[in-house]
Amino acid sequence: MHRLDVADPGGGAPDPHDQDPHDQHPHHHLPPRPGRALRVGIGGPVGCGKTALVAALCRALGHELSLAVVTNDIYTTEDADFLRRQAVLADERIVAVRTGCCPHTAIRDDITANLDAVEDLVERHDPELVLVESGGDNLTATFSYGLVDRQIFVLDTAGGDDVPRKGGPGVAGADLLVVNKTDLAPLVGADVDQMAADAARVREGRPTILTSVRTAPAVTGIAGWVRDEVARHALVGRRA
Amino acid sequence: MVAPQLWLLADSRLPTGGHAHSAGLEAAATRGLVRTPEDVAGFLAARVPTAGLLTAAASAAACALGDRPAHAPVGWDPWDAAVSARTPVAALREVSRAQGRALLRTARAAWPSLGYDALGRRPHQALALGVVVAAAGGTPHDAAALAVHHLAGQVVSAAVRLLGMDPLALSAVHARALADGAATVAEAAAAGSAAAGAHDPALLPAASTPLPEVLAVLHARGDGALFAS
């Protein structure tokens, strides 16, 4: 994460955004307070529509929830820039993390850069929801629950209707599976009903939503799931 | 030989954020300055005795200082300033602090110590490494060796991922760089220990290779970078 436009404050200096006038001991904030935010990871293969889903969720929920977003695009800040251009969220609520050619590492094996980004957002804005968008990766790339509280795995209908049947950690284990771009099914010969049945079989009761974010940009079902999880999180708190 | 309890600190699988840094390799590679394993060897031969010497010496000093009782915390500000002064590029100071913060986060879980708080929230990576090595039971020489190991590891790993170089050929480069780096480690351990003994951060060595530092600024500002540094 780069913040090159600010002066070097020195290692002992509190982050200027963090200053609390009532706090005489800023160093005693280590590690940072967890905040109230529900952290939701959004992962899935390249081109499945993760960024479009993030933008749609920001539009659907932005007026009722305090939101922030961390992007992990493999190519620099492209996803963050897309979100800024879409003006779905104030600039300072979107942070891009560089992942050194290894998007799955940054969300699973070494989550430190993403944790730093999330905690900076939590401390500055105290959001109710932080969306962490993974860089596009493969079917085995899932989020560590050290980084997120829930995860959504997104598939592209045109990426092959046998993908749900194959399962894998993302398809089988994600808290919500989204099969996106169902409008393309007739064009690519994909059997959406079979995808739904296969997903139900490998997911052992966890929910699946079939949709097209492009043709149904209100993302009503997904936004409803996120809204419910935020409410549940507010009652129950973070997973152990 | 580094003590067994420190091997985890030498393991790139320890989650400390290092995987997203190329230690300047990407900035050089995207400009065509590094194309072959021999170029990587040359890059390391330039960086280890300069930037590597500084971070290794600062790590050694911090290790010597960090092993202090909690009731007599180290005053890190002059050491922080000394590392900043020897890291003339703001982009690399930021990179150093981001990695120091990440390392401390993991160290709090792996090797709990009261000594971390005095470092502040975003210490330079070299200082954090030294204190963590002290907490894990290592010596200033261990800290210097780990600093050089991390530098070489980031460069080589990035060369594999970015340029598609033969990882076996790079293993040879890596091994040679670490063997050649032993002299830097010894020099850094001595200089860092002396600086810590005298409580004088001005005694830390200062060495630099200007081109990679300038490229680090362009890298941080430019678009299209895969690595954070």
* Two tokens, residue B47: 């960086």
What average pLDDT does the segment A204-233 reach?
96
Q: A75 and chain B: CB distance < 8 Å anywhere?
A: yes
Facing A30 at nearest CB: one of B80, B121, B228? B121
Q: What is the pLDDT of residue A8?
A: 55
Q: What is the pLDDT of residue A35?
A: 73
Question: pTM here?
Answer: 0.84
Taking only the tens place, the pLDDT of each residue in A21-56 is 444 444 444 444 567 899 999 999 999 999 999 999
Q: What is the pLDDT of residue A177?
A: 98
Residues of B in contact with A10 (CB under 8 A): 77, 80-81, 84, 120
Confidence of residue A237 (pLDDT cuts 50, 70, 90): confident
Residues of A in contact with B91 (CB under 8 A): 2, 4
Minimal CA separation from A8 to chain B, in Å: 7
Q: How far apart are CA A56 and CA B217, in angstroms?
A: 35
Facing B226 at nearest CB: one of A7, A29, A100? A100
Bond into A31 cis (ω within 30): yes
Q: What is the pLDDT of residue A158?
A: 96
**What is the ipTM metric for this complex?**
0.83
Q: What is the pLDDT of residue A75?
A: 60
**How far apart are the two ends of chain A, measured CA to CA in Å?**
28
In B, residues 94-153, which contact A (CB 8 Å cutoff)? 94, 97-98, 100-102, 104-106, 108, 116-124, 127
Residue pair B30/A126 in contact (Cβ under 8 Å)? The answer is no
Q: What is the pLDDT of residue A29?
A: 40
**Domains of chain B, CATH where assigned:** 4-221 (1.10.4190.10)
Facing B100 at nearest CB: one of A11, A30, A102? A11
User: A9 vs A80, which has greater pLDDT?
Assistant: A80
Q: What is the pLDDT of residue A76?
A: 55
Contact (CB<8Å) B77/A8: no
Neighbours of B70 (CB within 10 A): 10
Residue pair A234/A129 in contact (Cβ under 8 Å)? The answer is no
Minimal CA separation from A238 to chain B, in Å: 19
Q: What is the pLDDT of residue B15?
A: 94
What average pLDDT does the segment A93-102 reach?
88
DSSP percent split of chain A into helix, strand, coil, nearest 5: 40, 15, 45
Q: What is the pLDDT of residue A77?
A: 65
Contact (CB<8Å) B119/A11: yes
Residues with Cβ within 8 Å of A100's Cβ and at least 6 positions away in sequence, in order, are: A106, B19, B20, B21, B22, B158, B161, B226, B227, B228
**Which of A102-106, A172-176, B71-75, B193-197 shows the lowest mean pLDDT across its residues?**
B71-75
Beta bridge partners of A153: A43, A177
Confidence of residue A236 (pLDDT cuts 50, 70, 90): confident
DSSP B61: H
In A, residues 202-221, which contact B (CB 8 Å cutoff)? none
Residues of B in contact with A110 (CB under 8 A): 15-20
Minimal CA separation from B107 to chain A, in Å: 11
Residue pair B200/B48 in contact (Cβ under 8 Å)? The answer is no
Q: What is the pLDDT along chain B (229 residues), one digit of tens a residue?
A: 567 888 999 998 999 988 889 999 999 999 999 999 999 999 999 999 999 999 999 999 999 998 776 677 789 999 999 999 999 899 999 999 999 999 999 999 999 998 999 999 999 999 999 999 999 999 999 999 999 999 999 999 999 999 989 999 999 999 999 999 999 999 999 999 999 999 999 999 999 899 999 999 999 887 778 898 9
Minimal CA separation from B17 to chain A, in Å: 6
Q: Which residue has the tokens 């040679």?
A: B176
Contact (CB<8Å) B98/A1: yes
* Two tokens, residue A27: 């160093």
Q: Please, what is the average pLDDT of chain A?
A: 85
Residues of B in contact with A77 (CB under 8 A): 223
Q: What is the pLDDT of residue A140?
A: 87
Q: How far apart are CA A94 and CA A80, in angstroms?
A: 6
Facing A112 at nearest CB: one of B81, B102, B119? B102
Q: A100 and chain B: CB distance < 8 Å anywhere?
A: yes
What average pLDDT does the segment A162-179 reach?
95
Q: What is the pLDDT of residue A34?
A: 65
Facing A98 at nearest CB: one of B77, B162, B228? B228
Q: What is the pLDDT of residue A1?
A: 41
**Domains of chain A, CATH where assigned:** 34-236 (3.40.50.300)
Q: How far apart are CA A169 and CA A173, in angstroms?
A: 5
Tell me what percent of the residues of chain A surpass a pLDDT of 90: 66
Tell me what percent of the residues of chain A surpass a pLDDT of 70: 82
